[in-house]
Structure 1
C-alpha cells in the first residue's frame, strides 16, 4: 500500500515497485483517511505500507495514531515512512514509533528496495 498525497510521487513510486516486482498488488491512495477506511473494513491487508509524512488533513504520524486504534491484526505489516523531510523531529518521531520499520528519504530507488528488511 502506498499512501501519499502527491500524484507524481505515487506514479513514480508505483512504477518503481512494479518494475522491481516488489509486490503482486499495489494499492495507491492519495488520502490517508481512505487508507484507514480500507484497512478498517478489511478491503486490504498489506504486507507493506509506504507512508508519506506531510499530507493535508492527516499527516503520516496522525495516520499511525489512527492505525494504532484499528481493531485489526497488524502482525506482519511493515510501515516505511517515505518522505522528503529532513526535519530531525520527524526522523526522531519515526524511530520512536513502534509501527515504523524504517524512515526512507524520497525518492525510493531499486537499491533501497533491495536493502529493505
Structure 2
C-alpha cells in the first residue's frame, strides 16, 4: 500500500491498540499523516475547528465518556464537509447489534474486527 490517503485520524481509548495500529499504518504507508487521539470528544473538537481534515477515520466503538456511535451522532451535527471522508469502525466487538448499527449508519464505510492487519488494509474499499 502506498500513501493512499493524506490524513488518517485514529480514535481509540486504548493506548496499546493505538500504538500497534499506528505502527501498522505507518509501515504500510497508508497515509502521509496519522493523527491519534484517545478521546472522541477531542476528535470532535479537532474536526469542528478544522485542525484536522482527515480522508479516513478509524473509530473504536466501546470507549468511556463517548462511544463510537455517540461520536457519529456528534459528527453528524458538525458543519464540515463530510464527503470523501471514509470512516472505518475498528472494534473488538462481535455484538450483532454493533455490527447492524454500523451497517445502518450512513457514515460508516466498513466494520473491521481488531486487530487491523496488512491484509485487511489491502482489502479496504
1:27 match: secondary structure: strand
**TM-score (ref. length: structure 1):** 1.00
Deviation at 1:47, TM superposition (A): 0.4
State the alpha-carbon separation in 2 of the partners of residues 68 and 115 from structure 1: 27
Q: In 2, distance between residues paired with 1:112 and 1:43?
A: 28
- SS where residue 91 of structure 1 aligns? helix
Cα RMSD over matched residues?
0.3
Unaligned runs of 5+ in 1: none
Cα deviation code 1:11-36 (max 9, x no counterpart): 00000000000001000000000000
**Size of the alignment, in residue pairs?**
117
Moved >4 Å (runs of 4+): none
Please give the TM-score of this superposition, normalised by the length of structure 2: 0.93
The equivalent of 1:108 in structure 2 is 116
Is structure 2 residue 26 aligned with structure 1 residue 10?
no
